[in-house]
Structure 1
Amino acid sequence: MGGAERSVQYLAEALVKEGHKAVVISASEKNVCEAQDVNGVKVHYLSLKNIYWPFKKRSNPMFLKPLWHLIDIYNPWMVRYIKEIIKAEKPDIVHTNNLMCFSPLVWSEIKKLSIPIVHTIRDYYLLCPKCTMFDKYSNCEKQCLICKGYSFPKIYFTKFVDAVVGVSNYILEKHLSLGAFKGAKHSTIYNAYENKRYYKKSKSDQGLRLGFIGRITPNKGIEVILKAIDKLPLHKKNITLKIAGSGDKQYIKALSKKYSMNNISFLGFIPVEEFYPEIDVLIIPSLWNEPLGRITFEAYSYGVPVIASCRGGIPELVENESTGFLFDPEKPENLLKIINDIATRPELIEQMEDACLKKAMEFLPGKIAKSYLKIYLSLVKR
């Protein structure tokens, strides 16, 4: 459904290519009786046993959410089905990822089967019911009382994990600092991504082409870009901004009305292979502390440098003035300065293109799979 799920798919398929067997257990809104083969990966779809499916487009009743989260922390119904599959498949390793819908209780039950456990931290699920640690318009520097209450039992269950992997140093250290995964081996492995399509970036004589792609929400910082573009001097209005993605319709409508300039276009959903070749630079203006920022190396795979906010794990992916630029989203004048500098030095973008393509090679699924295999083998041998 999102970046985490795609990353798991890349990893599982890469493991199969390396000659191993990969079996995935995925939560589903509806029950699927038989396992399915997806590109060589055996996938079990388990119907969620809770009071509602949390990924519907419409919001679920607020008064039911506390009960849903309590069941999610300790969900014996889901754990029972998972144990049945694990006993049937007899794996050497169990690698857990996003545990929403499955329950951290599963760790203690897997441990009883004497199977080593690896967990990858991909979001703030263990620390925050919303999985974001972001409230209204600011990051939560500390856990509130509600988050502490929900996270306490989850952190307790982390003691059953043998090895923990953060998709960034930032997200790993955040969890370790709050007492999670005590005694587990820990390391950082970035997510996988591969651009399998033919790449050819279009050329333009129409000035600098900036782009934004992703969910159009306040925490993603879209207004940081719009305000910067609005402040450009008149002679720089040949700088264009393409905005791709979806979000709340009323919010997008309000933005398009407020920033109704000829050099800004809202494209709606558009495939990445159509989007990246039509821009020169991608802007990632996130206000929240992103665990990683997957679209950073997605852009690199098309030879597109990034201008990214110094939030969460994003700075770990950006080589300043080589594959991109970093700025503080709370100081929009920094973003404006970078845009102006790039606009006056078009040769810089061409120079950065090769560096971006080279950087993208670090995230190929085969390379990421080999990093995980080292962890798997160390636990099996132990």
Structure 2
Amino acid sequence: MKILIVSYYPLGFGGAEVSMKILASGLKKLGHEIIFASTGHYEGYKNYKLRNYRKIPFFFLRDNLLGNELIKIINKERIDIIHSNGYYTSLAVLKAAKKTGIKSVVHFRDYALACVKSTCLDSSNKEHERDTYRHIFVEYFPLRWIWEFYKWSYIKRSWKKIKQFDLVISNSNPVKEKLKSLGIESTYLANPVDLEERTKTSVKELRKEYKIKEFTILYAGTLEEHKGIYELLVTLKDFLIKNKVRFIIAGKGSSYFKILKYILENTIINAKMIGMKQHEEIMRLYKLSDLIVVPSIWKEPLPRTILEAMQNNKPVLATNVGGNIDLIKDEYNGYLIKNNEWEQRIKELMKNKSLREKLGRNGRKLLEEKHDLKKISKELEGMYKKILIKN
């Protein structure tokens, strides 16, 4: 098969892009030809550079322009299947597929069809099922009303169109349930992990390179309000100041300077912000760390951070929400934090290396059972073949 993957954002933007590239590598090993269409570059594959349409305020115009670009690629490359990685490119992909008569797939990894912010959280971080015009009226300043009403109207109109895809994929149970609540049926496909990918450098060498001797806690992800990293830092402030630990915060986002200001004002010298890092560097950080934290406030669909932590045999502490519950079996491969018991759980794991190692091994075992790239790739291949034989 010749498959065109439309992943609008470049690698480094988020976990969805990493997951899609890993999935592409599995399909490639099965003998399929993979081509990427993106504003970035996916190394190891033929790439078509898409224009940046983010500044175009009229969504229908953006979809038409992007759709026309994709039609040219499909005709030139004689594509069999076009696969949209996320909602942003979905309607353009559908248009291109309809015009050229090929099969179409859309892959959902968040709540973009239920909320203009894709999180289903309001400004006070309270969860709601989906946006409504009334909710937008209450939530936003008057100057934003027209724009947010327009966005929500566009999203609502897209629900019927999404049903026209030959295959709709959801990456987690929370996403699948959210789509179902909107009347959209989807097929679950677990996020893949390449179990053969390993950082060759030893932990001892990595710690020497990074000049780290202390017990090390790692947060790796975007720095946004709904990710909960600021709240976790506030909760752990006294613990971090009083104990010999290193807290590494890897990522960027709108909360970056808020977090940095808090660290400086409270002289939390063992909390270090290192900015966004490429996938290979993040994997090295997982390996040298003792513990990974995922403090999400929102119903995180399926955090790639947890998968990568388990890939590196590391225990995970995560909030008891969303896709975290799908990945963490409490007290088996980590702990689900229910009553803000972060400090208690961290202290337990600091004192007990054998427990950390046991939780890490169990996490790796879960990956082998449910998220092995070889299995997931064959599963997706089967889905592709099924829609290709349909009239």
- Normalising by structure 1, we get a TM-score of 0.81
**In the alignment, is residue 106 of structure 1 matched against residue 112 of structure 2?**
no
Deviation for aligned residue 1:343: 3.3
Contact residue 230 and residue 259 of structure 2 kept, 8 A: no
Deviation for aligned residue 1:109: 4.5
Deviation for aligned residue 1:206: 6.6
Q: Which of 320, 326, 329 in structure 2 is aligned with 1:319? A: 329
Q: List runs of 5+ in structure 1 lacking aligned partners.
A: 29-35, 53-66
Alignment of 1:1-382 (within 5 A): 1-27=13-39, 38-39=43-44, 41-49=45-53, 51-52=55-56, 67-69=57-59, 71-72=61-62, 75-100=63-88, 102=89, 104-138=91-125, 139-145=127-133, 146=149, 148-181=152-185, 186-193=187-194, 195-198=197-200, 200-202=202-204, 208-232=215-239, 237-248=243-254, 249-269=256-276, 271-328=281-338, 331-332=339-340, 334-361=341-368, 362-382=370-390
Deviation for aligned residue 1:320: 1.7
Residue 308 of structure 1: SS of its match in structure 2?
strand
Deviation for aligned residue 1:92: 2.6
Deviation for aligned residue 1:99: 4.1
Contact residue 201 and residue 276 of structure 1 kept, 8 A: no
Contact residue 93 and residue 104 of structure 2 kept, 8 A: no
Q: Which AA in structure 2 matches 1:189?
A: A
Deviation for aligned residue 1:161: 1.1
Deviation for aligned residue 1:87: 2.5
Contact residue 193 and residue 298 of structure 1 kept, 8 A: no
Q: Per-residue displacement from partner, 1:174-198 (whole Å, max 9, x unpaired)?
A: 01111235xxx62232244553422
Distance 1:303 1:70, change over 3 A: same
Deviation for aligned residue 1:128: 2.9
Q: Per-residue displacement from partner, 1:81-110 (whole Å, max 9, x unpaired)?
A: 21222223233322221242x351431441
Could you say which residue in structure 1 is the equivalent of 2:144?
none
Q: Give the Cα separation in 2 of the matches to 1:80 and 1:268.
A: 36
Contact residue 293 and residue 317 of structure 2 kept, 8 A: yes
Q: Give the Cα separation in 1 of the matches to 2:319 and 2:267.
A: 25
Q: Which has the larger share of helix?
A: 2
Q: Which AA in structure 2 matches 1:246?
A: K
Deviation for aligned residue 1:232: 3.9
Q: What is the number of equivalent residue pairs in this alignment? A: 350
Stretch moving more, 164-173 or 104-113: 104-113
Aligned-pair RMSD on alpha carbons?
A: 2.9
Stretch moving more, 122-131 or 298-307: 122-131
Contact residue 70 and residue 96 of structure 2 kept, 8 A: no
Q: Give the Cα separation in 2 of the matches to 1:50 and 1:202.
A: 44
Q: Give the Cα separation in 1 of the matches to 2:21 and 2:160.
A: 28
Could you say which residue in structure 2 is the equivalent of 1:31?
none
Q: Give the Cα separation in 2 of the matches to 1:364 and 1:199.
A: 23
Distance 1:123 1:319, change over 3 A: same
Deviation for aligned residue 1:350: 1.9
Could you say which residue in structure 1 is the equivalent of 2:146?
none
Distance 1:371 1:200, change over 3 A: farther
Q: Give the Cα separation in 1 of the matches to 2:191 and 2:355.
A: 27
Deviation for aligned residue 1:356: 2.6
Q: Give the Cα separation in 2 of the matches to 1:358 and 1:199.
A: 22
Deviation for aligned residue 1:49: 4.4
Q: Per-residue displacement from partner, 1:331-374 (whole Å, max 9, x unpaired)?
A: 32x22332233234332112222223333434343332111101
Residue 291 of structure 1: SS of its match in structure 2?
coil
Q: Give the Cα separation in 2 of the matches to 1:23 and 1:229.
A: 45
Distance 1:200 1:317, change over 3 A: farther
Q: Per-residue displacement from partner, 1:237-261 (whole Å, max 9, x unpaired)?
A: 2344232333445313322124423
Stretch moving more, 104-113 or 273-282: 104-113
Q: Which AA in structure 2 matches 1:10?
A: I
Distance 1:127 1:209, change over 3 A: same
Q: List runs of 5+ in structure 2 lacking aligned partners.
A: 1-12, 134-148
Could you say which residue in structure 2 is the equivalent of 1:62?
none
Distance 1:258 1:178, change over 3 A: farther
Contact residue 311 and residue 363 of structure 2 kept, 8 A: yes
Deviation for aligned residue 1:287: 0.9
Q: Give the Cα separation in 2 of the matches to 1:2 and 1:360.
A: 20
Q: Which AA in structure 2 matches 1:272?
A: I
